[in-house]
Amino acid sequence: MTLIVSIGGNKHGKTDPYIKKDGVELDLILLIRTILAATKEIAFRVSQGELSGVLGSTLDENIQGEVQKKLDVLANQLLKDMLSDDDSVRSIASEEEEFVVPVHSTAPYIVAFDPLDGSSNIDINGQIGTIFTIYRARDDVAANSPEQFAQLGTEQVCAGYVLYGPSTYLMMTTGGPTRGYTLDLTHGGYLLTVPEVTLSQDSMEFSANMANYRYWQEGVQHYFDQVLYSSEDYKDVTMRYNGAMVGDINRILIKGGVFHYPSDARAGNENGKIRLLYEANPLAMLIEKAGGKATAHGKRIMALPPTSLHQRVPVVMGSNNLVDEFDKAIFSNSNV
Ligand code: P6P
Protein backbone atom coordinates (compact mmCIF):
# COMPACT_ATOMS: atom_id res chain seq x y z
CA MET A 1 0.00 0.00 0.00
CA THR A 2 1.32 3.44 -0.83
CA LEU A 3 1.67 5.64 2.19
CA ILE A 4 1.48 9.39 1.74
CA VAL A 5 2.85 11.03 4.81
CA SER A 6 1.49 14.15 6.46
CA ILE A 7 4.24 16.28 7.90
CA GLY A 8 2.09 19.06 9.20
CA GLY A 9 -0.84 19.91 6.97
CA ASN A 10 -0.93 21.84 3.72
CA LYS A 11 -0.24 25.51 3.04
CA HIS A 12 -3.82 26.39 3.88
CA GLY A 13 -3.26 24.97 7.33
CA LYS A 14 -5.57 22.02 6.64
CA THR A 15 -4.45 18.49 7.42
CA ASP A 16 -2.68 16.88 4.48
CA PRO A 17 -5.52 14.99 2.70
CA TYR A 18 -3.06 12.25 1.71
CA ILE A 19 -2.67 10.90 5.19
CA LYS A 20 -3.09 7.14 5.30
CA LYS A 21 -2.22 5.83 8.74
CA ASP A 22 -2.15 2.25 9.87
CA GLY A 23 -0.14 0.25 12.39
CA VAL A 24 2.78 -0.78 10.21
CA GLU A 25 3.25 2.46 8.31
CA LEU A 26 2.84 4.60 11.41
CA ASP A 27 6.42 3.57 12.29
CA LEU A 28 7.48 5.04 8.96
CA ILE A 29 5.70 8.34 9.60
CA LEU A 30 7.41 8.63 12.99
CA LEU A 31 10.81 7.73 11.51
CA ILE A 32 10.42 10.35 8.77
CA ARG A 33 9.58 12.90 11.44
CA THR A 34 12.79 11.99 13.29
CA ILE A 35 14.80 12.67 10.14
CA LEU A 36 12.95 15.93 9.53
CA ALA A 37 13.52 17.05 13.12
CA ALA A 38 17.27 16.78 12.48
CA THR A 39 16.93 18.71 9.21
CA LYS A 40 15.19 21.56 11.03
CA GLU A 41 18.20 21.91 13.34
CA ILE A 42 20.57 21.72 10.36
CA ALA A 43 18.48 24.34 8.55
CA PHE A 44 18.83 26.68 11.52
CA ARG A 45 22.63 26.24 11.69
CA VAL A 46 22.92 26.75 7.92
CA SER A 47 20.78 29.91 8.08
CA GLN A 48 23.03 31.30 10.83
CA GLY A 49 26.05 31.09 8.50
CA GLU A 50 29.17 32.69 10.00
CA LEU A 51 27.25 33.27 13.23
CA SER A 52 26.86 29.55 13.77
CA GLY A 53 30.61 29.04 14.11
CA VAL A 54 30.42 25.93 11.89
CA LEU A 55 31.66 27.26 8.55
CA GLY A 56 35.02 26.30 7.15
CA SER A 57 36.83 22.98 7.10
CA THR A 58 38.00 20.54 9.72
CA LEU A 59 41.46 18.97 9.61
CA ASP A 60 39.95 15.60 8.68
CA GLU A 61 39.00 13.75 5.52
CA ASN A 62 36.00 11.45 5.12
CA ILE A 63 35.95 7.96 3.57
CA GLN A 64 35.58 9.65 0.18
CA GLY A 65 38.95 11.39 0.70
CA GLU A 66 37.12 14.74 0.81
CA VAL A 67 38.03 17.38 3.41
CA GLN A 68 35.20 17.45 5.92
CA LYS A 69 33.48 20.77 6.49
CA LYS A 70 32.51 21.54 10.09
CA LEU A 71 28.86 21.59 9.01
CA ASP A 72 29.27 18.14 7.40
CA VAL A 73 30.38 16.78 10.77
CA LEU A 74 27.61 18.58 12.65
CA ALA A 75 24.87 17.47 10.26
CA ASN A 76 26.11 13.90 10.31
CA GLN A 77 26.26 13.83 14.10
CA LEU A 78 22.77 15.38 14.44
CA LEU A 79 21.23 12.77 12.15
CA LYS A 80 23.12 9.89 13.80
CA ASP A 81 22.16 11.02 17.32
CA MET A 82 18.46 11.49 16.54
CA LEU A 83 18.18 8.24 14.54
CA SER A 84 20.01 6.32 17.27
CA ASP A 85 17.23 7.36 19.65
CA ASP A 86 14.52 6.12 17.28
CA ASP A 87 13.34 2.58 18.15
CA SER A 88 12.47 1.84 14.51
CA VAL A 89 16.07 2.15 13.25
CA ARG A 90 18.21 -1.00 12.94
CA SER A 91 21.17 0.40 10.96
CA ILE A 92 22.54 3.72 9.71
CA ALA A 93 24.78 4.42 6.71
CA SER A 94 26.22 7.82 5.91
CA GLU A 95 28.51 9.41 3.35
CA GLU A 96 30.55 10.54 6.37
CA GLU A 97 30.79 7.08 7.98
CA GLU A 98 33.13 4.42 6.60
CA PHE A 99 31.12 1.61 8.17
CA VAL A 100 27.48 0.83 8.91
CA VAL A 101 26.37 2.04 12.38
CA PRO A 102 24.24 -0.62 14.14
CA VAL A 103 21.41 0.74 16.31
CA HIS A 104 18.50 -1.50 17.45
CA SER A 105 19.06 -5.11 16.34
CA THR A 106 15.38 -5.97 15.75
CA ALA A 107 14.08 -2.62 14.46
CA PRO A 108 12.13 -2.58 11.17
CA TYR A 109 13.99 0.06 9.12
CA ILE A 110 17.48 1.09 7.98
CA VAL A 111 18.39 4.64 6.99
CA ALA A 112 21.13 6.00 4.69
CA PHE A 113 21.90 9.65 4.12
CA ASP A 114 24.23 12.20 2.69
CA PRO A 115 24.06 14.64 5.59
CA LEU A 116 25.13 17.65 3.59
CA ASP A 117 25.33 17.26 -0.18
CA GLY A 118 27.25 20.03 -1.93
CA SER A 119 29.53 20.96 0.98
CA SER A 120 31.68 23.08 -1.33
CA ASN A 121 28.74 25.49 -1.39
CA ILE A 122 28.67 25.98 2.39
CA ASP A 123 31.23 28.76 2.63
CA ILE A 124 29.76 30.64 -0.35
CA ASN A 125 26.19 30.62 1.01
CA GLY A 126 25.15 28.38 -1.88
CA GLN A 127 22.46 25.69 -1.95
CA ILE A 128 23.20 22.53 0.05
CA GLY A 129 20.95 19.71 1.13
CA THR A 130 20.39 16.52 3.11
CA ILE A 131 19.52 13.44 1.03
CA PHE A 132 17.93 10.46 2.81
CA THR A 133 16.55 7.03 2.01
CA ILE A 134 14.76 4.37 4.07
CA TYR A 135 14.61 0.60 3.45
CA ARG A 136 13.06 -2.22 5.44
CA ALA A 137 15.75 -3.95 7.50
CA ARG A 138 16.99 -7.40 6.43
CA ASP A 139 16.70 -10.24 8.95
CA ASP A 140 19.23 -12.44 7.15
CA VAL A 141 22.27 -10.26 7.95
CA ALA A 142 23.57 -8.50 11.07
CA ALA A 143 22.63 -4.93 11.92
CA ASN A 144 26.24 -3.81 11.38
CA SER A 145 26.61 -5.55 8.03
CA PRO A 146 26.95 -3.48 4.83
CA GLU A 147 24.74 -6.20 3.31
CA GLN A 148 21.82 -4.50 5.09
CA PHE A 149 22.11 -1.83 2.41
CA ALA A 150 22.78 -4.20 -0.50
CA GLN A 151 19.18 -3.75 -1.64
CA LEU A 152 17.91 -2.58 -5.02
CA GLY A 153 16.79 1.05 -5.19
CA THR A 154 13.32 -0.26 -6.02
CA GLU A 155 13.16 -1.54 -2.41
CA GLN A 156 13.26 2.00 -0.95
CA VAL A 157 10.15 2.70 1.17
CA CYS A 158 10.93 6.41 1.36
CA ALA A 159 13.33 8.75 -0.46
CA GLY A 160 13.75 12.47 -0.05
CA TYR A 161 15.91 15.48 0.39
CA VAL A 162 15.75 18.75 2.28
CA LEU A 163 17.19 21.64 0.29
CA TYR A 164 18.56 24.49 2.43
CA GLY A 165 17.87 27.37 0.07
CA PRO A 166 15.98 30.68 0.28
CA SER A 167 13.28 28.43 1.72
CA THR A 168 13.87 25.07 3.39
CA TYR A 169 12.23 22.64 1.00
CA LEU A 170 11.45 18.94 1.44
CA MET A 171 10.95 16.79 -1.65
CA MET A 172 9.80 13.28 -0.74
CA THR A 173 8.09 10.13 -1.91
CA THR A 174 6.92 7.13 0.14
CA GLY A 175 6.12 5.11 -2.95
CA GLY A 176 3.42 7.42 -4.31
CA PRO A 177 3.92 10.66 -6.21
CA THR A 178 6.85 12.92 -5.41
CA ARG A 179 5.51 15.71 -3.22
CA GLY A 180 6.95 19.09 -2.17
CA TYR A 181 6.77 20.50 1.38
CA THR A 182 7.96 23.91 2.59
CA LEU A 183 9.21 24.49 6.14
CA ASP A 184 6.96 27.05 7.78
CA LEU A 185 9.27 28.88 10.18
CA THR A 186 6.31 30.40 12.04
CA HIS A 187 5.45 27.04 13.58
CA GLY A 188 8.29 24.74 12.50
CA GLY A 189 6.26 22.33 10.38
CA TYR A 190 6.83 21.13 6.81
CA LEU A 191 3.63 22.07 4.98
CA LEU A 192 2.49 20.32 1.81
CA THR A 193 2.94 22.87 -0.97
CA VAL A 194 3.13 20.69 -4.12
CA PRO A 195 0.84 17.64 -3.83
CA GLU A 196 2.20 15.99 -6.99
CA VAL A 197 5.45 16.97 -8.71
CA THR A 198 5.37 16.30 -12.47
CA LEU A 199 8.56 16.51 -14.49
CA SER A 200 8.29 18.67 -17.64
CA GLN A 201 9.29 17.08 -20.96
CA ASP A 202 9.66 20.47 -22.65
CA SER A 203 12.91 21.66 -21.13
CA MET A 204 16.11 21.98 -23.16
CA GLU A 205 18.31 22.53 -20.13
CA PHE A 206 21.19 20.30 -19.06
CA SER A 207 23.32 20.26 -15.96
CA ALA A 208 26.92 19.01 -16.13
CA ASN A 209 30.37 20.15 -15.06
CA MET A 210 31.74 20.92 -18.53
CA ALA A 211 35.22 21.45 -17.03
CA ASN A 212 35.39 17.64 -16.87
CA TYR A 213 34.88 17.34 -20.66
CA ARG A 214 38.52 16.40 -21.32
CA TYR A 215 38.20 13.40 -18.95
CA TRP A 216 34.97 12.01 -20.45
CA GLN A 217 34.79 9.01 -22.77
CA GLU A 218 34.86 9.85 -26.47
CA GLY A 219 31.21 8.96 -26.99
CA VAL A 220 30.15 11.34 -24.22
CA GLN A 221 32.36 14.10 -25.62
CA HIS A 222 30.82 13.58 -29.06
CA TYR A 223 27.30 13.78 -27.60
CA PHE A 224 28.04 17.13 -25.95
CA ASP A 225 29.72 18.39 -29.14
CA GLN A 226 26.39 17.77 -30.89
CA VAL A 227 24.44 19.49 -28.10
CA LEU A 228 26.69 22.54 -27.99
CA TYR A 229 27.81 23.05 -31.58
CA SER A 230 25.89 21.25 -34.27
CA SER A 231 22.54 19.66 -33.53
CA GLU A 232 19.62 21.81 -34.67
CA ASP A 233 17.51 20.08 -31.97
CA TYR A 234 19.60 21.82 -29.31
CA LYS A 235 19.81 25.32 -30.77
CA ASP A 236 17.83 26.64 -27.77
CA VAL A 237 19.74 24.62 -25.19
CA THR A 238 20.72 26.23 -21.85
CA MET A 239 22.90 25.00 -19.02
CA ARG A 240 22.72 25.33 -15.23
CA TYR A 241 25.15 23.68 -12.80
CA ASN A 242 24.85 24.16 -9.05
CA GLY A 243 27.81 22.24 -7.65
CA ALA A 244 25.31 20.51 -5.39
CA MET A 245 23.37 17.73 -7.09
CA VAL A 246 20.47 18.19 -4.69
CA GLY A 247 20.01 21.75 -6.00
CA ASP A 248 20.26 20.67 -9.63
CA ILE A 249 17.77 17.85 -9.17
CA ASN A 250 15.38 20.19 -7.35
CA ARG A 251 15.47 22.58 -10.34
CA ILE A 252 14.95 19.67 -12.74
CA LEU A 253 11.97 18.34 -10.75
CA ILE A 254 10.38 21.79 -10.89
CA LYS A 255 11.37 22.93 -14.41
CA GLY A 256 12.51 19.81 -16.26
CA GLY A 257 15.94 19.16 -17.76
CA VAL A 258 18.65 16.55 -17.31
CA PHE A 259 21.58 16.08 -14.92
CA HIS A 260 24.79 14.36 -16.01
CA TYR A 261 27.73 13.15 -13.98
CA PRO A 262 29.52 10.75 -16.33
CA SER A 263 32.40 8.48 -15.44
CA ASP A 264 35.77 9.98 -16.33
CA ALA A 265 39.46 9.15 -16.69
CA ARG A 266 40.54 10.63 -13.35
CA ALA A 267 41.66 8.19 -10.66
CA GLY A 268 38.66 7.13 -8.61
CA ASN A 269 36.12 8.46 -11.11
CA GLU A 270 35.98 5.33 -13.27
CA ASN A 271 32.34 5.11 -12.14
CA GLY A 272 31.79 8.81 -11.77
CA LYS A 273 31.44 10.60 -8.45
CA ILE A 274 27.82 10.13 -7.38
CA ARG A 275 27.24 7.46 -4.71
CA LEU A 276 24.54 4.89 -5.44
CA LEU A 277 23.17 4.34 -1.94
CA TYR A 278 22.62 7.83 -0.56
CA GLU A 279 22.64 10.03 -3.67
CA ALA A 280 21.76 8.27 -6.95
CA ASN A 281 19.04 5.88 -5.69
CA PRO A 282 17.00 8.31 -3.55
CA LEU A 283 17.21 11.03 -6.21
CA ALA A 284 16.32 8.46 -8.89
CA MET A 285 13.20 7.47 -6.95
CA LEU A 286 12.09 11.10 -6.68
CA ILE A 287 12.71 11.62 -10.42
CA GLU A 288 10.86 8.42 -11.42
CA LYS A 289 7.88 9.14 -9.14
CA ALA A 290 7.65 12.54 -10.84
CA GLY A 291 7.53 10.82 -14.25
CA GLY A 292 11.21 11.08 -15.20
CA LYS A 293 14.05 8.62 -15.82
CA ALA A 294 17.35 7.84 -14.06
CA THR A 295 20.02 5.65 -15.69
CA ALA A 296 23.63 4.54 -15.28
CA HIS A 297 25.46 2.81 -18.17
CA GLY A 298 22.16 3.04 -20.05
CA LYS A 299 20.36 0.95 -17.41
CA ARG A 300 17.79 1.92 -14.73
CA ILE A 301 19.69 3.08 -11.63
CA MET A 302 17.14 1.66 -9.19
CA ALA A 303 17.58 -1.82 -10.71
CA LEU A 304 21.38 -1.87 -10.27
CA PRO A 305 22.50 -4.57 -7.78
CA PRO A 306 24.68 -2.74 -5.19
CA THR A 307 28.25 -4.05 -4.79
CA SER A 308 29.62 -1.90 -1.93
CA LEU A 309 28.43 0.65 0.62
CA HIS A 310 30.04 3.73 -0.96
CA GLN A 311 29.82 2.51 -4.54
CA ARG A 312 29.77 5.19 -7.24
CA VAL A 313 27.77 5.19 -10.47
CA PRO A 314 27.75 7.48 -13.51
CA VAL A 315 24.34 9.17 -13.57
CA VAL A 316 21.94 10.67 -16.10
CA MET A 317 18.58 11.67 -14.68
CA GLY A 318 15.69 13.99 -15.49
CA SER A 319 13.16 14.40 -18.31
CA ASN A 320 12.58 11.13 -20.17
CA ASN A 321 13.26 12.57 -23.64
CA LEU A 322 16.63 14.03 -22.67
CA VAL A 323 17.75 10.90 -20.79
CA ASP A 324 16.67 8.70 -23.71
CA GLU A 325 18.50 10.83 -26.26
CA PHE A 326 21.73 10.60 -24.28
CA ASP A 327 21.42 6.85 -23.70
CA LYS A 328 20.56 6.18 -27.36
CA ALA A 329 23.58 8.21 -28.42
CA ILE A 330 25.95 6.45 -26.04
CA PHE A 331 24.66 2.92 -25.47
CA SER A 332 23.49 0.95 -28.51
CA ASN A 333 22.25 -1.79 -26.13
CA SER A 334 20.49 0.62 -23.78
CA ASN A 335 17.09 -0.17 -22.35
CA VAL A 336 15.53 2.91 -23.94
P1 P6P B 1 32.16 18.50 -9.19
C2 P6P B 1 28.84 17.21 -4.17
O3 P6P B 1 30.12 16.93 -3.62
C4 P6P B 1 28.60 16.21 -5.28
O5 P6P B 1 28.66 14.93 -4.78
C6 P6P B 1 27.29 16.51 -5.96
O7 P6P B 1 26.34 17.02 -5.09
C8 P6P B 1 27.66 17.48 -7.04
O9 P6P B 1 26.79 17.46 -8.16
C10 P6P B 1 29.07 17.01 -7.44
O11 P6P B 1 29.62 16.39 -6.28
C12 P6P B 1 29.93 18.17 -7.87
O13 P6P B 1 31.16 17.61 -8.34
O14 P6P B 1 33.22 17.54 -9.66
O15 P6P B 1 31.38 19.09 -10.33
O16 P6P B 1 32.67 19.56 -8.23
Strand 312-313 vs strand 205-207: parallel, antiparallel, or unpaired? unpaired
Q: Which 3 state secondary structure label does DSSP give 107?
A: coil
Q: Which CATH number applies to 17-194: 3.30.540.10, 1.10.3720.10, 3.60.15.10, 3.40.470.10?
A: 3.30.540.10
User: Atom of ligand 1 at shortest distance to CA of 242?
Assistant: 9
Check pocket membership of 97 for ligand 1, CB cut-off 6 A: no
Mean pLDDT of the chain: 89
DSSP H or E segment with residue 109: strand 109-117
Which of 69, 122, 245 gets mutated to test ligand 1 (max ligand atoms within 8 A of its CB)? 245
- Architecture per CATH, domain 205-331, reads as 3-Layer(aba) Sandwich (3.40)
Q: Which 3 state secondary structure label does DSSP give 3?
A: coil
* CA 43 from centre of chain: 17
**All residues at 6 or more sequence positions from 16 whose CB lies less than 8 Å from its CB, including other chains:** 4, 5, 6, 7, 8, 9, 10, 192
- For residue 21, what pLDDT band results from cuts at 50, 70 and 90? very low
Predicted TM-score (pTM) of the model is 0.92
Number of Cβ within a 10 Å radius of residue 97: 18
Q: Which 3 state secondary structure label does DSSP give 87?
A: coil
The 10s digit of each residue's pLDDT in 270-285 is 999 999 999 999 999 9
Residue ranges per domain, the chain? 17-194, 205-331
Least confident of 91-100, 105-114, 152-161, 233-242: 233-242
User: Atom of ligand 1 at shortest distance to CA of 261?
Assistant: 9
* CA 305 from centre of chain: 18
Check pocket membership of 244 for ligand 1, CB cut-off 6 A: yes
The 10s digit of each residue's pLDDT in 285-326 is 999 999 999 999 999 999 999 999 999 999 999 999 999 999
- For residue 14, what pLDDT band results from cuts at 50, 70 and 90? very low
